[in-house]
Amino acid sequence: MSLNMHIVVCIKQVPDSAQIRVHPVTNTIMRQGVPAIVNPYDLVALEEALRLKDRYGARITVLSMGPPQAEGALRKALSFGADEAILLTDRSFAGADTLATSYALASAIRKIRLDIPVDLVFAGKQTIDGDTAQVGPGIAIRLKMQLLTYVSKIETIDLDKSELTVQRRAEGGVQVLKTRLPALITVLEGINEMRFATMSDMFRAARYPIRVWDKDAAGIEDISKIGLKGSPTVVSKVFAPTPRTQKAEIIQTQSDQPGDVAATLLAKMFARFPQLRDAIGRRGE
Amino acid sequence: MSNPTAPTPPAARPAGRRKFELDPRLKAYKGVWVFIEHERGAVHPVSFELLGEGRKLADQLGVELAGVVLGAAGEHTRRFCQDAFCHGADLCFLLEDPVLAQYRNQPYSRALTDLVNKHQPEILLLGATTLGRDLAGSVATTLQTGLTADCTGLAIDPENRSLAATRPTFGGSLLCTIVTLNYRPQMATVRPRVMSMPARNDTRSGRVIEEPLALLETDVVTKLLEFIADDKRAEVNLPFADIIVAGGRGMKRPDNFQLVRDLAEVLGAEVGATRPVVQSGWVSADHQVGQSGKTVRPKLYIAAGISGAVQHRVGMEGSDVIVAINQDASAPIFDFATYGIVGNAMQILPALTAAFRQHLATEKLAV
């Protein structure tokens, strides 16, 4: 199988938000012990890239920007079958918003494609910590690649003609789009299931020399466009949401039988919120 | 030595951590714009919600509120402009061209970027839909300006007239306010159902400013081969549902989720779920409520086996009435639900299904 396609997959290491807790008294984030994971949406993108590798033969480079610990995310990606891993890490990248992040990642991809031309860039549909969905489009615009967001299926790739046909989730339906390579694809969640890492890939990943690039190695041309300095948006304050003081009215009955509890709830609810009588059982009328 | 006249106190430093002078080139940027999204002959409700919010911002700034309508002739674009006026817009920018017949990133980005460069709005708001996020991310990069996603609050900082956009951070456990100081326009996206719907006023009207599109179909690389419309009956429309029955990890097993569906069926409700449940594959992702899913504000939200983690809470706390069923009496969901039932959801859900079914049967008899 020829290695005639080169795919870059952008991934991010994020705190597992399901395990973040707010301190009940001080209302601050309790970060201790919150495990770092690969952004789950990025794994969907990686799996889609791996499937293209199975189908057409491809070389997959995973790229991440973050602190030195983000190496862990790249090793994870290698264990699933990625071929090459690059970590952008430099103090001057810190504090980047989405515009500055897409500048740094696009610079690195330009550098990568000096060695081997890049046909496709993959990204998750969004991260679970920032939830912005802006970095993928930002990279595509900077690299003048065709942008395909929320892709639910890659139908065909014709490498000879440099053509690509995909299904894209849009409001109210699915678009079938045909475009030219190179393209940037952000992948919809739930379209595939991540494969298991093989033993040999896990061993390879553990020992693999991940390339670590600082701002110079990443080919950053304009240092005023990275990090905090390159970010048009500024966080002016962070605060805890106003805690609700109203607690739930607990429905209890003497018998504690589910049927009695249900009947009591309905009676109380319809008495206090009579408008709900009209709302229920309405569909299809 | 006396000093008859008290020395003038040094000018008080304006409370001003954010004291700054806007670049003179950027002072020309005036007005608040809302991108009017439409599909299949109707304006997306999120655009009206944004016009309601945009009206307040424009009034506070003393500027006009404009809608931006892109589309092809025959797509009722004139009616969409009128709809925008009825929801608060003073004027609409209209680009009508066959190239804009269905959303594609390249022509829409080009159209919106050119409009912004020519007419220079200070604020540009878009819905955080698949279309809005795709378009906003591209346009902000081309314009090299700031974009704040998924805002839950928009306000004007009286000190420097900049847009203060508030959004959840850390998976929803905290809120942060973000400003874009020396860049224009200030861009933000807002999810459907986060802002309330303004009342429609049919007596309002406004002016339409037409602009040409500087792009030919032959310049557009991506071609639309087909549009497969969703089956309306099978479509999950969580954000606009009146009633939602949702399940979390406390449902324990995928087959128990049928109990959630049974209650939803009787109530004519949509089915919702938490992220862990969606990630375990018990239900499809279009059912996900919360920070990484949909924001909902139904009249009634029934949460079964959901602990009420912040990531879920931010997506559903706008519900009018919340009923929570959870075995753990100390679950955070009981801190903000309207009614709580401490018990086994696998027993309570069937009981509720039976009780609602009986209630509906009696109502029918009474009519």
The confidence band for B133, taking pLDDT boundaries of 50, 70 and 90, is very high
* Nearest Cα to Cα of residue A20 among B249, B295, B312: B312
Taking the C-alpha atoms of residue B267 and residue B356, their distance in angstroms, rounded to an integer, is 7
Taking the C-alpha atoms of residue A184 and residue A50, their distance in angstroms, rounded to an integer, is 16
- Provide, as residue numbers in chain A, all residues whose Cβ is less than 8 Å from the Cβ of B334: 247-248, 250
A134: closest chain B residue by CA: B137
**pLDDT for res B9:** 43
Q: What is the mean pLDDT of residues B138-150?
A: 96
The confidence band for B3, taking pLDDT boundaries of 50, 70 and 90, is very low
- Orientation of helix B257-267 relative to helix B345-366, angle to 10°: 10
The confidence band for A139, taking pLDDT boundaries of 50, 70 and 90, is very high
**pLDDT for res B33:** 98
Q: Locate tokens 């189908």: which residue? A: A55
- Going along chain A from its start, the domains and CATH numbers come out as 6-225 (3.40.50.620), 248-285 (no CATH)
Provide the pairing of β-strand A163-170 with A146-158: antiparallel
Taking the C-alpha atoms of residue A180 and residue B69, their distance in angstroms, rounded to an integer, is 28
What digits encode the pLDDT tens for the residues A12-37? Answer: 998 886 666 666 665 566 667 788 99
Cβ–Cβ under 8 Å, residues B47 and B37: yes
B190: closest chain A residue by CA: A132
Provide the pairing of β-strand B32-36 with B162-169: unpaired
* Nearest Cα to Cα of residue B128 among B154, B156, B107, B99: B154
Provide the pairing of β-strand A183-187 with A120-124: parallel
* Nearest Cα to Cα of residue B47 among B59, B33, B62, B30: B33
Residues whose CB is less than 8 angstroms from the CB of residue B333 and which lie 6 or more positions away in sequence, other chains included:
A248, B303, B306, B307, B308, B313, B322, B324, B326, B340
Judge whether A271 is closer than 8 Å to chain B, CB to CB: no
Same fold, B24-219 and B238-366: yes
Q: What percent of chain B has pLDDT over 70?
A: 92
A229: closest chain B residue by CA: B182
Judge whether B40 is closer than 8 Å to chain A, CB to CB: yes
* Nearest Cα to Cα of residue B350 among A282, A273, A257: A257
What digits encode the pLDDT tens for the residues A29-80? Answer: 666 778 899 999 999 999 999 999 999 999 999 999 999 999 999 999 999 9
- Determine, for residues B351 and A190 on separate chains, whether the beta-carbon distance falls below 8 Å: no
- Determine, for residues B323 and A132 on separate chains, whether the beta-carbon distance falls below 8 Å: no
The first and second tokens of residue B168, run together, are 């959840």
* Nearest Cα to Cα of residue A76 among A214, A201, A212, A213: A201
The first and second tokens of residue A145, run together, are 């690649």
What digits encode the pLDDT tens for the residues B54-85? Answer: 999 999 999 999 999 999 988 899 999 999 99
Per-position DSSP letters for B117-135, written without gaps between them: HHH--SEEEEE-SHHHHHH
**pLDDT for res B168:** 85
Q: What is the mean pLDDT of residues A200-210?
A: 95
Q: Where are the domains of chain B?
A: 24-219, 238-366
* Nearest Cα to Cα of residue A133 among B69, B88, B150, B144: B150
The confidence band for A87, taking pLDDT boundaries of 50, 70 and 90, is very high
Taking the C-alpha atoms of residue B56 and residue B60, their distance in angstroms, rounded to an integer, is 6
**pLDDT for res A240:** 78
Q: What CATH homologous superfamily does B238-366 map to?
A: TPP-binding domain (3.40.50.1220)
Q: What CATH homologous superfamily does B24-219 map to?
A: HUPs (3.40.50.620)
State the complex-level ipTM: 0.88
